[in-house]
Amino acid sequence: MPRNTVFYSGLADMALTTMNMFGEFVAKSRRNDVLVVQPRMGFGRIDQMRAGLRAVKAARGTTIGTITLDSYTRVGDHGAARAALAANHDLNGFPIVVHGAERTRDMLASIADADFPVQVRHGSAKPFAIFRTLVDAGIGATEGGPVSYCLPYGRTPLSEAIDEWSRCCALLGKEADQGRIIHLESFGGCLLGQLCPPSLLIAVSVLEGIFFKRFGVRSISLSYAQQTNYDQDLEALRALQNLGNEYLGDTDWHTVLYTYMGVFPKTEEGALDNIALSARLARQSSVARLIVKTAAEAHKIPTVASNIEALELCASVASDVPGQSNSVPNTGIEQEAKTLIENVLDLDEDLGKALRKAFASGQLDVPFCLHTDNAGRARSFLDDRGYLQWSRAGSMPINVSNHHGSIATEMTSHSLLDALSFVERRFDTPYLASMSPEHRISP
CA angle, 296 then 258 then 168, to 5°: 115
CB atoms within 10 A of CB 335: 14
Query: Which contiguous run of DSSP H or E holds residue 244?
Result: helix 230-248
C-alpha–C-alpha distance, residues 264 and 429, integer Å: 13
Spatial CA neighbour of 223 closest among 246, 257, 274: 257
C-alpha–C-alpha distance, residues 64 and 115, integer Å: 8
Write out pLDDT tens, residues 35-63. 999 999 999 999 999 999 999 999 999 99
Write out pLDDT tens, residues 193-242. 899 999 999 999 999 999 999 999 999 999 999 999 999 999 999 999 99
C-alpha–C-alpha distance, residues 97 and 408, integer Å: 48
275: left (phi over 0), alpha (psi -120 to 50) or beta: alpha
Q: What are phi and psi of 144, to 5 degrees?
A: 125, -145
Spatial CA neighbour of 398 closest among 420, 367, 356: 367
What is the pTM (predicted TM-score) of this model? Answer: 0.93
Q: With contact defined as beta carbons under 8 Å apart, do 201 and 158 qualify? A: no
C-alpha–C-alpha distance, residues 400 and 390, integer Å: 6
CB atoms within 10 A of CB 1: 10
Write out pLDDT tens, residues 290-335. 999 999 988 888 899 999 999 999 999 999 998 877 889 999 999 9
C-alpha–C-alpha distance, residues 236 and 337, integer Å: 9
Using CA atoms of 38, 44, 48, 53 in order, give the dihedral in degrees to the nearest 10.
20
Mean pLDDT, residues 412-434 taken together:
92
β pairing state of 379-382 and 289-291: unpaired
- DSSP letter at 179 equals T
**Is a pLDDT exceeding 50 seen at residue 441?**
no
Domains of the chain (ranges; CATH) run 3-320 (3.20.20.240)
Taking each helix axis as running N to C, give the angle between helix 304-320 and helix 46-58, from 0 to 180 degrees, rounded to the nearest 10: 20
**Is a pLDDT exceeding 60 seen at residue 7?**
no
Write out pLDDT tens, residues 345-392. 999 999 999 999 999 999 999 999 999 999 999 999 999 889 999 999
C-alpha–C-alpha distance, residues 118 and 77, integer Å: 24
Per-residue burial over 148-184, b = 16 or more CB atoms within 10 Å of its CB, e = otherwise: bbbbbbeebebbebbbbbbebbebbbebbeeebbbbb
**Is a pLDDT exceeding 90 seen at residue 435?**
no
Range in 184-188, 290-294, 322-326, 421-425 with the lowest mean pLDDT: 322-326
